[in-house]
Structure 1
Amino acid sequence: TLRDVGIDRALGVIAALATDADNLFLTLSVKSMNPKVMVSARVSEEENESKLRRAGADSVIAPYAATGTRLAQSLLRPHVTQFLNFTTTSVGLDIGIEQVQVAAGSDFVSKSLQQLPIRRELGVIVLAIRRADGTMQFNPPASAAIAAGDCLIVMGEHGSLRQLERMAETKHESAHR
């Protein structure tokens, strides 16, 4: 059972069972036992996506639709597709796209992007800021202020991304430069 596998301690569940109905039931069961757990669900039929979201799925992926879109994009925008593949797979340079959570005690809080060592010292690009209220600010200006609970969507070399994660967690005097 879900209790036996520790659903009360789980941070996330992937619902990728054989049918949409099974994934819907699993999502409902998980959310009723632990409303805080993140659920990512697979859906075969696109019309069932809204049902899974209403059941509490935080993320719903329709792999057939996504694959079709990706294939079409590879013909229409081959360089964009190549770039996305480059940044989301282990092919090529050591570059990735990550999300970095800004902790309440971080030195990043109440500072602008320009004041932080993100680009200047780490060479990391901030693509977007997801605010604590759920709003997304794409291509934020250097003057964008960081708040506790913000999630930075960033791109850079993996080592720099790990360093940024550590810096965003706690106070670091180097962030004052």
Structure 2
Amino acid sequence: MSIISRAGDHRAKSKLLAAGADFVDSPYETGGRRMAQRALNPNLTNFLDLVFEWKRHDIEMEEITATESSKITGLKLKESGVRVNFNVIVIAMQREDGTMIFNPSSENRIMPGDTVIVMGKTKDLEKMAEVLNPEGEKTGGRP
């Protein structure tokens, strides 16, 4: 379990981390970054708003952890049929050791314990979750 906390100002961040928080977020820092991002990349920010602010309820980003029992674990992305069968976009894969692979190639394999970060329609993400994690184990991502 991760402990996530909110810091009212920048001085509180180190205190909260020292007290055991795994992640500390400051709404002022986040807001400042978001405003700068909107000025520099307005189209990207609008796109992310669609996904993260629920303006389109049919598109989501999810993290789904692959289990040993998945029939596509061990396969290359191109062999897994992820795009054809589930109509989702694989944005990244995080290995069990924490290594993050952004925009994985079709040659990357889905390994047990990988957290696959995908974007797509809710119904397609649910289908993919059933294949990556057939027993519905609680794994940190979508079961």
Give the TM-score normalised by the residue count of structure 1.
Answer: 0.70
Distance 2:33 2:84 in 1: 36
Give the drift of 1:54.
4.3
Q: Give 2:115's match in structure 1, choosing from 113, 135, 151.
A: 151
Distance 1:84 1:96 in 2: 10
Give the drift of 1:144.
0.3
Identity %: 34
Q: Which residue of 2 aligns with 1:53?
A: 17
Q: Give 1:112's match in structure 2, choosing from 76, 85, 96.
A: 76
Q: Which residue of 1 aligns with 2:138?
A: none
Distance 1:55 1:118 in 2: 42
Runs of 4+ in 1 over 6 A off after TM superposition: none
Give the drift of 1:74.
1.3
Distance 1:45 1:106, change over 3 A: same
The unaligned stretches of length 5 or more in structure 2 are 136-143
Distance 1:128 1:54, change over 3 A: farther
Distance 2:26 2:102 in 1: 24
1:30-66 Cα offsets, whole Å, 9 max, x none, are xxxxxxx221111122344344334432332111110
Distance 1:92 1:51, change over 3 A: same
Larger Rg: 1
1:88-124 Cα offsets, whole Å, 9 max, x none, are 1221361111101111211122111111121112110
